[in-house]
Amino acid sequence: DILIFSGGVYIQHAKKIVPQSNWPGKIAVTLVALVLFLGTIQITVLRSFFRYAMWASVVMMVWSVVTYAQRLFIGRHIETVK
């Protein structure tokens, strides 16, 4: 999340635009909240669900970072072509 935030701040300053949030990032935040909730209540029956939610949140965070990185590099390419 810190990497995504830092990339967004960089895009904002370098390109003078505010990067739009993306769906993988929104899903990742929701899954992180679910993981925190499940980790707090610690119900034994939900332990495997907790693991799946945790790994799904990691996958979605990586997908979100890749999406932001694509925006950054595509934006750079467009600026250099002009």
DSSP classification of residue 22? -
Percent of the chain with pLDDT over 90: 43
pLDDT tens digits, residue range 2-18? 777 787 788 788 877 77
pTM for this one? 0.71
The rounded distance, in Å, linking the Cα atoms of 71 and 8 is: 10
55's CB contacts (< 8 A; 6+ apart) are none
User: Do 63 and 38 meet the contact criterion of CB atoms below 8 Å apart?
Assistant: no
Angle between helices 2-15 and 47-81 in degrees, nearest 10: 20
Low-confidence stretches of the chain (pLDDT < 70) are 1, 75-82
